[in-house]
Structure 1
């Protein structure tokens, strides 16, 4: 009645080696796919922001949607919500507000976490704002909103992913 129970040290070592080899291939692939998915989310936000900027530009042509408060121009984009513009284009302080990530426009130089905690938004200066996805493996990947001015009126905006999110 001398029966062996359990695994030998050799069998356990073999299983650990096989699992290690599988992990060596699976973990980097998972990380890459996870990162690419998050970058796709930022690309989706880029499309939504581009659409919002274009819609707001059109709304700027309707006099009943314009409003001036403290020498700042605002345009109604959706039901009862006004966004600051400089000319007919969205002011950089409004990028997260118009996407519904924050409840108000951004203060200059202050990083703000979105309502759901997934994003960080910052209005850097008169020309630049950005949105970063929290917990993205690459901390240098962001959605950038860069404005070009002429006499305090925005003449063009550039909405792009910047940083190392484009590297493979």
Structure 2
């Protein structure tokens, strides 16, 4: 009844070597896939923002949905909320507000975390805003909203991923 229990040092070394080789390939793939998933979320936000801008542009053609407060133009996008516009397009201070990431429009130059803490939103100036996903491996990836003006009305907006994003 003299049975040998356990593993030899050679067997353990072999198992550790095999696991190390597997980890060498698996960890970078996991990190890449994880990052791609986060960039896909930003792409999803881009689609939602584009849709919201188009819907708001349509709503701005309906007189009953327009409102002027303190000299600023606002349009009712849904039954709950008015959003600031410049002409018929969304004002850059409203990008996170219209997506439901913040409860109010942004203040110029101030970065704000979203309600759930997953995003950071910033209204840079009267024509540029961006949204970054927190804890994204590349901090240079952001969803930008750039408005082009004629007089005080926005004529076009460019909504795109900028920086070090995988596309």
Fold conserved (TM > 0.5)? Answer: yes
1:39 aligned onto 2:39: yes
| 3-state SS, counterpart of residue 20 of structure 1 | helix
Looking at structure 1, the residues matched to 80 and 112 of structure 2 have their Cα atoms a distance apart, in angstroms, of 23
1:93-118 superposed Cα distances (whole Å, 9 cap, x missing partner):
00000000000000111111111111
1:110-156 superposed Cα distances (whole Å, 9 cap, x missing partner):
11111111111110111110001111111100000000111111111
Looking at structure 2, the residues matched to 80 and 128 of structure 1 have their Cα atoms a distance apart, in angstroms, of 26
TM-score (norm 1): 0.96
| 3-state SS, counterpart of residue 107 of structure 2 | coil
Looking at structure 1, the residues matched to 5 and 110 of structure 2 have their Cα atoms a distance apart, in angstroms, of 63
Task: Look up the match of 1:5.
Answer: 5
Task: Look up the match of 1:88.
Answer: 88
| 3-state SS, counterpart of residue 78 of structure 1 | coil
TM-score (norm 2): 0.97
Task: Look up the match of 1:143.
Answer: 143
Task: Look up the match of 1:62.
Answer: 62
Segments of 5+ residues of structure 2 without an aligned counterpart are none
Task: Look up the match of 1:107.
Answer: 107
How well do the aligned residues superpose, as a CA RMSD in angstroms? 1.1
Looking at structure 2, the residues matched to 9 and 152 of structure 1 have their Cα atoms a distance apart, in angstroms, of 76
**Which runs of 4 or more aligned residues in structure 1 lie more than 6 Å from their structure 2 counterparts after TM superposition?**
none
1:37-76 superposed Cα distances (whole Å, 9 cap, x missing partner):
1111111100000000000001111111001111100000
Shift of 1:9: 1.4
Q: How many residues align?
A: 167
Looking at structure 2, the residues matched to 139 and 8 of structure 1 have their Cα atoms a distance apart, in angstroms, of 47
Task: Look up the match of 1:166.
Answer: 166
| 3-state SS, counterpart of residue 160 of structure 1 | strand
Looking at structure 2, the residues matched to 58 and 148 of structure 1 have their Cα atoms a distance apart, in angstroms, of 19
Task: Look up the match of 1:130.
Answer: 130
Structure 2 contact 36–166 (Cα < 8 Å) conserved: no
Structure 2 contact 149–155 (Cα < 8 Å) conserved: yes
